[in-house]
Amino acid sequence: MHLDVEELTRVVLPSAGRRPRARPEVEARLGAVVPEDFKDLVDTYGGGALRARCPRHRPRADRHR
């Protein structure tokens, strides 16, 4: 887990039961590699926003056509 995400988990507890997701198809559609720290953030907290001020979106292959 990326150090910044690890530090965040000390302040904001993640939901239980989150599992890493495969992303090759998303990265192929985007034509770019998703940064590892972002992958860790989404794997840890899922999609949504932290207090509606810090939006984060889970990349999905079907949204980038």
Helix, coil or strand: residue 31? coil
**Domain boundaries of the chain, sorted by first residue:** 3-13+23-59
Rounded CA gap, 7 and 58, in Å?
20
Q: Mean pLDDT in the chain?
A: 78
Neighbouring C-beta atoms of residue 5, cutoff 10 Å: 19
Share of the chain above pLDDT 70, in %: 72
What digits encode the pLDDT tens for the residues 14-37? 877 777 777 888 889 889 998 988
In b/e form, how buried is each residue of 8-46, taking b as 16+ CB within 10 angstroms?
beeeeeeeeeeeeeebeebeeeeeeeeeeeebbbbbbbe
Structure tokens at 45: 């907290």
Question: For position 65, what pLDDT does the model report?
Answer: 53
